[in-house]
Structure 1
Amino acid sequence: MAAPGSVEELRSRVVLGEFGVRNVHTTDFPGNYSGHDDSWDKEKFEKNFRVDVIHMDESTLEFDMVGIDAAIANAFRRILLAEVPSMAVEKVFVYNNTSIVQDEILAHRLGLIPIRADPRLFEYKSEEDECDEINTLQFQLKIKCSKNPQAARESSDPNELYINHKVYSKHMEWVPLGSQADNLNADFRPVHDDILIAQLRPGQEIDVLMHCVKGIGKDHAKFSPVATASYRLLPEITLLQPIEGEAAERLKKCFSPGVIEIQEIKGRKVARVANARLDTFSREIFRHDDLKTLVRLARVRDHYVYIEKVMGWMTANKLKLSPDKIKVILVNEEATRGLQSQTGLDCSGGSCTPPKNLRGINRYSASRCVGE
């Protein structure tokens, strides 16, 4: 814990006060503090950096990333949102649609349905490529609504009166292309079976064919494998002196449940910090004049708490990061020259541009309408 007002607090803590936030800028750059060597060192970084998985289930991953700057922390968030590929509906061929949902709206709804398919099994498809088994997944949705002859005459419930009057994602059927059924031992389907696509009435039907391709969230949000990717700095709550009795009870109510607990010590109720990471920092403590000077609120500058909501093919276990999976790349002049000579990149002007014969490979534009 950094002492209040110390150099260590300036370097490593963001302090929340009653009327503002202090130490919001990163200041641990070389030469800024005497007696501190803040020059960046690869071995020092690898020693201090760590990733701790806090909670993981099928759809949620919470982990701590410690020992990095805000720019790198945000880069990981942006990578998860925009650079990790997935499969999504790109083309919709409408053979028949007599529902009240217009063709373009139907295509848009189909494009946003997450598909359970590992994109590592497929290649990127460019505009010039033909649809084949290595770059395209094909689904068919063919359904027609009819009256239920077994329905009671006095019934007014659509679920009893009609058959197939609700079109769900479970009605999408995978149609293998080429040798996909033989070579790919996978059950390609929507992630969720209960996504409502449209509602029909007797005589109405939908008959469409869908082509799914591989893409990234930077091209279109439908390709993003995570629903949300967020991070926050780890909260730090410090009691500057013992708080007992009725004041301890009021202190507990100022924070989120589980943050402050009351202990019995020699017959006295004494407050202690149980789990600061649960707090949302409402700063309710500053409403109490007798308590606000007894508590210090801060956030640890290099400790980031990530929460990722996973969807699509990727489970939280596949998304899990570990230190051995994260490589530190030192880009220096020698490495840049070696990269340029090996790949033909034009690295003049501070950025690397691929040669003309390589541009456009493994990338296509998905910014157009899904059903276009």
Structure 2
Amino acid sequence: MDISTSYGTLGGPNITIRELSKKHIRFILSDTDLSVANSLRRVMIAEVPTVAIDMVEIETNTTVLADEFLAHRLGMVPIDSRDVEKLRYTRDCTCSQYCPECSVELTLHVKCTEDRTKEVTSRDLVSSNPSFVPVLQDKHDSGILLVKLRKGHELKLKCIAKKGVAKEHAKWSPVSGVSFEYDPYNKLRHTQYWFEETEEEWPLSKNASEEEAPDPNARKY
């Protein structure tokens, strides 16, 4: 979706949203320092709290994958964290280990009884709190593949999802990557080649439309 909405205060940073969808956002940050842009990028990666599976208790596992392998896959399943502020950090909770105030319990029990392969996905996880469920794109999304079962294989486990930030572990990161561009015309000459043609060695991006093109007759340093 292409939109153009600006947010900011008089004399402060301005944010203009250019694209917004379920998977990504593109915006223009202006009237501020480069250090602020980089700080914002780092905060989005490592400081935004989310909910992720932190503990896995496996009761039955006769699949081809080891317990540790399954636990790692489960930890990377994205959990809807729009209501994350309703949960406490475990370190701030008064419970001994975990409770509904600081965690969410998800269970999974799947057994293959047919002669064909059965896929177990994040959709098979049942959450104790409807506000915190595995992320799905839509009702037709089958979920993230966790393991495949053959006839007779069974997987039964319980997961405890907790609130955290990515500087503790990457599983709590709300984004896959955050980047920014601040010199689309390469006015600062970032490349080190003896021969430098902007369009060949530094192709223009969409962000070039946000700036005035440099004077081709201006002196180059």
TM-score strictly above 0.5:
yes
Alpha-carbon contact 1:139-1:211 (below 8 Å) kept: yes
Indicate which of 138, 143, 146 corresponds to 2:113: 146
* CA deviations over 1:3-51 (Å, ceiling 9, x no partner): xxxxxxxxxxxxxxxxxxxxxxxxxxxxxxxxxxxxxxxxxx9526311
Alpha-carbon contact 1:89-1:110 (below 8 Å) kept: yes
2:172 aligns to what? 223
Pairing of 1:169-180 with structure 2 (within 5 A):
169-176=122-129
- The runs of 5 or more residues in structure 2 that have no matched partner are 1-8, 137-141, 188-197
1:232 aligns to what? 181
Code of the aligned partner of 2:119: K
Q: How many residues were matched structurally?
A: 190
Alpha-carbon contact 1:88-1:215 (below 8 Å) kept: yes
Alpha-carbon contact 2:17-2:26 (below 8 Å) kept: yes
Are 2:119 and 1:119 equivalent residues in the alignment?
A: no
Higher helix share: 1
Secondary structure at 2:179's aligned position in 1?
A: strand
2:21 aligns to what? 57
Name the CA distance, whole Å, in 2 between partners of 1:199 and 1:81: 32
Give how far 1:107 is off. Answer: 0.4
Give how far 1:134 is off. Answer: 1.0
Secondary structure at 1:72's aligned position in 2?
A: helix
Given the superposition, is the C-alpha separation of residues 99 and 237 from structure 1 closer, same or farther in structure 2, using an over 3 Å criterion?
A: closer
Are 2:220 and 1:276 equivalent residues in the alignment?
A: no
Name the CA distance, whole Å, in 2 between partners of 1:108 and 1:295: 57
2:132 aligns to what? 188
Secondary structure at 2:181's aligned position in 1?
A: strand
Given the superposition, is the C-alpha separation of residues 222 and 295 from structure 1 closer, same or farther in structure 2, using an over 3 Å criterion?
A: farther
* CA deviations over 1:180-223 (Å, ceiling 9, x no partner): xxxxxx44321134211011111111000000000001111111
Give how far 1:116 is off. Answer: 1.1
Identity of aligned residues (%): 28
Give how far 1:295 is off. Answer: 7.0
Given the superposition, is the C-alpha separation of residues 77 and 143 from structure 1 closer, same or farther in structure 2, using an over 3 Å criterion?
A: same
Indicate which of 109, 118, 121 corresponds to 1:168: 121
Alpha-carbon contact 1:167-1:197 (below 8 Å) kept: yes
Indicate which of 152, 160, 163 corresponds to 1:203: 152
Give how far 1:167 is off. Answer: 0.8
* CA deviations over 1:64-99 (Å, ceiling 9, x no partner): 111222222111111111111000000000000011
Given the superposition, is the C-alpha separation of residues 132 and 295 from structure 1 closer, same or farther in structure 2, using an over 3 Å criterion?
A: farther
Give how far 1:114 is off. Answer: 0.3
Name the CA distance, whole Å, in 1 between partners of 2:47 and 2:204: 36
Q: Structure 2-normalised TM-score?
A: 0.75
- The runs of 5 or more residues in structure 1 that have no matched partner are 1-44, 149-160, 177-185, 239-250, 260-274, 279-292, 299-372
Secondary structure at 2:178's aligned position in 1?
A: strand
Indicate the RMSD between aligned Cα atoms, in angstroms.
3.1
Given the superposition, is the C-alpha separation of residues 140 and 96 from structure 1 closer, same or farther in structure 2, using an over 3 Å criterion?
A: same
Structure exhibiting the larger radius of gyration computed from Cα positions: 1
Indicate which of 75, 87, 103 corresponds to 1:136: 103
Name the CA distance, whole Å, in 2 between partners of 1:211 and 1:222: 14
Give how far 1:252 is off. Answer: 8.3
